[in-house]
Amino acid sequence: MADTALVLGAGGVTGTAWESGILHGLAKAGVDLSTADLIVGSSAGAIVGARLAFGPAGIGDLYERQLAAPEGDRGAAARLGPVAILRFARAALSSRTPDEYGRRLGALARDSRPGVSAAERRETIAGLLPSPEWPERHLLVTAVDASTGALHTFDRTGTVALADAVTASCAVPVVWPVVDAGGGSWIDGGVHSPANAHLASGYGRVVVIAPTATGSKVIVSPRAQAAELEAAGARVEVITPDAATRKPIGRNSLDPARRAAAARAGLAQSAAHTEAVAAVWTG
């Protein structure tokens, strides 16, 4: 069995901020998760994971960036409106598997006309990354095939640039444009599951940090995936937003005005998990 894996889940703009706060707090307490043998990043977690894979300094910088006033970037601010939410709910209710759900959302995404161009969105994501090159550390970035609904992972061994992979992983259907890269069309990796923690199968010590804690009849929750890893013999610690954190995160996970509060909430919450994470990470 391989050693350590860090799974960073989906959660929008506020999820990126909260995850950066959790990781920054853990690092300040002496628990550096950038040493992971595998980092899995989905959507918000893809941004955070890409920074962490270059070393712990990137997370401190990302955390500080969350505290700055929103810049009004067209490629960053968005909202999932009530009509889109209803369509998502209908797709979930009428689907039996994550792939079927992904196909339905992929079709919605291809038929939509987001207010931001693909180039603008890519530029925004690229500006959040520490390098245009893939890190040496094993980083998996998830996305969902907009045609088949299947989960896909990008890494440094492929032909897709890091910025394209992360932009694909963050392509919330209807909100952001579908990403065309590597011969495929891609939507948000969090469509398959909020954490995609199953990708850490085979690793003995796993930490899952997931801004979205819930699942559905077709989407497996982070804790359910963690339970499967534990059943296979792994030691797993799962961190999701606690009651004190959910209020500052708010209802619109895509609202940059909530970034600072979400980041500070993550930093505060990290203290409650330091001992348990350290116990898993150091074996």
Cite the active site residues.
43, 188
Which residues, 6+ apart, have CB-to-CB distance to 2 below 8 Å?
37, 38, 202, 203, 204
* DSSP codes, 124-157: HHHTTSS-SSPPSS-EEEEEEETTT--EEEE-TT
Maximum distance among all Cα pairs of the chain, rounded to whole angstroms: 49
Q: Supply 13's token pair.
A: 């703009």
Strand 2-8 and strand 38-41: the pairing is: parallel
CA–CA separation, 82 vs 118, rounded Å? 23
Judge contact between 54 and 102, C-beta under 8 A: no
How distant, in Å, are the alpha carbons of 25, 132, 158 from that of 235?
21, 34, 30
